[in-house]
Amino acid sequence: MKTILEKIDKNQNNTDIIREAGRILKEGGLVAFPTETVYGLGADALNEDAAKKIYAAKGRPSDNPLIIHITNMKALEKIVSEVPEKAVKVAEKYWPGPLTMIFNKSDIVPYGTTGGLDTVAVRMPVDAIAREVIDAGGGYIAAPSANTSGRPSPTTAQHVAEDLTGRVDMIVDGGAVEIGVESTILDMTVEPPMILRPGAITKEMFEEVIGEVTIDRTLIRPDSRQVPKAPGMKYRHYAPKADLTIIEGPLEKVTAEINKRAKEKSRAGYKVGIIGTEETVAEYKAGDVKCIGTRADESTIAANLFGILREFDDDQVDYIYSESFDTAGIGSAIMNRLLKAAGHHIEKLV
Ligand code: TXA
Ligand code: MG
DSSP for residue 154: P
pLDDT of residue 252: 96
Res 103 pLDDT > 70: yes
| Cis status of the peptide bond prior to 96, with omega within 30 of 0 | yes
DSSP for residue 314: H
Ligand 1 atom nearest to 233, measured from its CA? 19
pLDDT above 90 coverage of the chain, percent:
89
Strands laid side by side in the 184-187 sheet? 4-7, 170-173, 31-33, 40-44, 141-142, 67-69, 119-123, 99-104, 184-187, 194-197, 214-215
User: Is 238 marked as a binding-site residue?
Assistant: yes
Ligand 1 within 6 A of CB of 173: no
Ligand 1, from 41, 95, 100: best to mutate by most atoms within 8 Å of Cβ?
100
Ligand 1 within 6 A of CB of 113: no
pLDDT of residue 236: 63
Res 223 pLDDT > 70: no
pLDDT of residue 235: 65
Comparing 237 with 49, which gets the higher pLDDT? 49
| Residue range 297-348, pLDDT digits in tens | 999 999 999 999 999 999 999 999 999 999 999 999 999 999 999 999 999 9
Q: Which domains does the chain have, with CATH numbers?
A: 4-215 (3.90.870.10), 243-348 (3.40.50.11030)
pLDDT of residue 80: 98
pLDDT of residue 225: 67
How many angstroms does the Cα of residue 147 sit away from the middle of ligand 2? 7
Ligand 1 within 6 A of CB of 136: no
pLDDT of residue 148: 95
Look at the pTM and tell me if it is higher than 0.95: yes
One-letter amino acid of 108? I
Average pLDDT of 112-116? Answer: 95
